[in-house]
Amino acid sequence: MASSPLAYYPGCSGLGTSMEYDRSTRAVCEALGIPLKDIPDWSCCGSTPAHTVDHALSTALSARNLIQAETIGLSDIATPCPSCLKNLKTAMARWQDPKIGPAAEKLLGKSLQERHRVRSVLQVLYEELGPEALAAKVSRPLAGLKVVPYYGCLMTRPKDLMDFDDEEYPVSMDRLLEAAGAEVLPFPLKVECCGASMGIPLNKAVTRLSGKILELAASLGADAVAVACPLCQMNLDLRQGQVEKANHAIYKLPVFYYTQLLGLALGLPERDLGLSKLNVNPEPALALIRQSRPKPAAETAATTEDAA
C-alpha cells in the first residue's frame, strides 16, 4: 500500500447528513493503512446549484479545493462523495476550456498548477488495495448477510469523465463486499437514478424511482442495501417511509454505506462507524453478521500468506 497520504475531501454532507459516511471512511482507511490528510480550509464544491447557474462559478468553487490541496503538496485527491467527485473532475476538464478556465481563474485570483488525480475512495480501495488484500484483513466476515450494491447514477458516469469500472454494470463495490464476506446479489438497478435532489421539489419522483430500487432489492431477498453516495443513502434510507407509503409497500431495508460494512468486517467498533445515524433500523441485519463467527487466527494467517 502506498504510504504517501491522499488529500481528503470530505464534502459538505460529510459534516452533516452523511456524517457516518465520513466517519466510517476515515476509520476504514486508517485500519487499512491508507493515510488521509484533510485538504486545509476546503469549501463546498458548488454541488448541483452552482453548475446549473454558472459553469465558471462551479469550476472556480471546485478548483479552489484542488488549489488548496496544492498548498500541502498533494495532488492525489480522494473523496467519498460521487457528486463532489464529478464536480472536482469536471472543474479540471473545464479549466482547460478557453471559455470557462480564464473566467474561473479571474474569480479565484489563483490558477490551477498541478495535474491532479481525483478519485473516489471506492476507486482507491478497489485499485490500490484490491479485494484480495482486503479479504486478508477481514476479521469478522459478513457471512450470512445478503446485500445488494447500489452505486447510484454518478459513480461511473459519464464514462469518459469518471473513467472507472463498467459504466453500466460496475462491479468494484460488489468485489469489495464479497471480499468482506457478504453474499452480494446481482443487482440490475445498481446505476439507476434514485431521484436525487428531486425529493424537495417533486417528491413523487423520488418515491417512484427509489421505490423501484427498494422493491427490486426486497424481491431479490436482500437483507440490506450498500451505497456509496450521501444523497442516494438519504433517499433510500431517510425517505424509505415516504417511499413505502407512496407504493403501499413495506421494505424495512437498512441502507448502509459500503464503508460501514467494510468497517464491520474489519472488526472496527460499531460506534466508530456511525451506525446509530441510520434511519431504518439496521439491527436485524447486524444480528445476521454477529451470528457469524470471527475468523480463526490460523485461517487469517493462511489467507494473508496466500495474498502475499
Partner 1 sequence: MRIGVFVCHCGSNIAATVDSAAVAAAARDFDEVVFSTDTMYTCSEPGQTGIIEAIKTHALDGVVVAACSPRMHEPTFRRAVERAGVNRYMVEMANIREHVSWIGKDKEANTNKATELVRMAVEKLRLNRPLFPKTFKATRRVLVIGGGVAGIQTALDCAEAGLEVVMVERESTIGGKMAKLDKTFPTVDCSSCILGPKMVDVAQHPNITLYASAEVEAVSGFVGNFEVTIRKKVTCVDWEKCTGCGLCTEKCPSKKAYNRFDEGVGPTTAINIPFPQAIPKKAVIDKEFCRYFTTGKCGVCAKICPTGAINYEQQEELAQEKVGAIVAATGYDLFDWRAYGEYGAGRYPDVISSLQYERMLSASGPTGGHIKRPSDGKEPKTVVFIQCVGSRDASIGRPYCSGFCCMYTAKQAILTKDHIPDSQSYVFYMDIRAPGKAYDEFTRRAMEEYGAQYVRGRVALIYPKGDKLVVRGTDTLMSSQVEVEADLVVLAAGAEAARNASGLAEKLHISYDTYGFFVEGHPKLRPVETNTAGVFLAGACQGPKDIPSSVAQGSAAAAKVLGLLSKDVLESDPQIAQVTLQRCIGCGKCIRVCPFQAIRETDFRGQRKAEVIEAVCQGCGLCNATCPQGAIQLSHFTDNQVLAEVEALCRC
As a three-state string, the secondary structure of 212-241 is HHHHHHHHCCCCEEEECCHHHHHHHHHCHH
Question: Strand locations in 160-199, DSSP E?
Answer: 183-184
Whichever of 166 and 283 has its CB closer to partner 1, that residue is 166
Residue 198, phi then psi, degrees to nearest 5: -70, -10
Q: Is 161 in the site for partner 1 (CB under 8 A)?
A: no
Q: Which of 20, 174, 192, 244 binds partner 1 (CB under 8 A)?
A: 192
Q: Is 163 in the site for partner 1 (CB under 8 A)?
A: no
Whichever of 129 and 217 has its CB closer to partner 1, that residue is 217
Whichever of 67 and 220 has its CB closer to partner 1, that residue is 220
Q: Kindly state the smallest distance separating residue 87's Cβ from partner 1, in Å.
A: 24
Q: Kindly state the smallest distance separating residue 86's Cβ from partner 1, in Å.
A: 19
Q: Is 188 in the site for partner 1 (CB under 8 A)?
A: yes
Q: Which of 3, 4, 96, 219 binds partner 1 (CB under 8 A)?
A: 219
Q: Kindly state the smallest distance separating residue 279's Cβ from partner 1, in Å.
A: 26
Q: For residue 118, how many C-alpha atoms fall within 13 Å in the half-sphere facing its CB?
A: 31
Measured CA to CA in angstroms, residue 267 lies from 25, 30, 134, 170, 270 at distances of 14, 13, 12, 27, 9
Q: Is 189 in the site for partner 1 (CB under 8 A)?
A: yes
Q: Kindly state the smallest distance separating residue 213's Cβ from partner 1, in Å.
A: 11
Sequence-distant (6+) residues with CB within 8 A of 100 are 55, 56, 59, 94
Q: Which of 168, 283, 299, 306 binds partner 1 (CB under 8 A)?
A: 168
Give the closest residue to 212 by CA, choosing from 267, 154, 148.
148
* Grid cell for residue 210: 427509489
Whichever of 42 and 126 has its CB closer to partner 1, that residue is 126
Stretch that binds partner 1, among 62-70, 131-139, 185-193, 272-280 (CB under 8 A): 185-193
* Grid cell for residue 1: 500500500
Q: Is 186 in the site for partner 1 (CB under 8 A)?
A: yes
Q: Is 35 in the site for partner 1 (CB under 8 A)?
A: no
Whichever of 133 and 185 has its CB closer to partner 1, that residue is 185
Whichever of 158 and 284 has its CB closer to partner 1, that residue is 158
Long-range CB contact pairs, 160-169, < 8 A, 24+: 161/86, 161/89, 161/90, 161/93, 162/85, 162/86, 162/89, 164/119, 164/120, 164/123, 165/123, 165/126, 167/191
Which residues would be at the binding site for partner 1 (CB under 8 A)? 166-169, 186, 188-189, 192, 216, 219
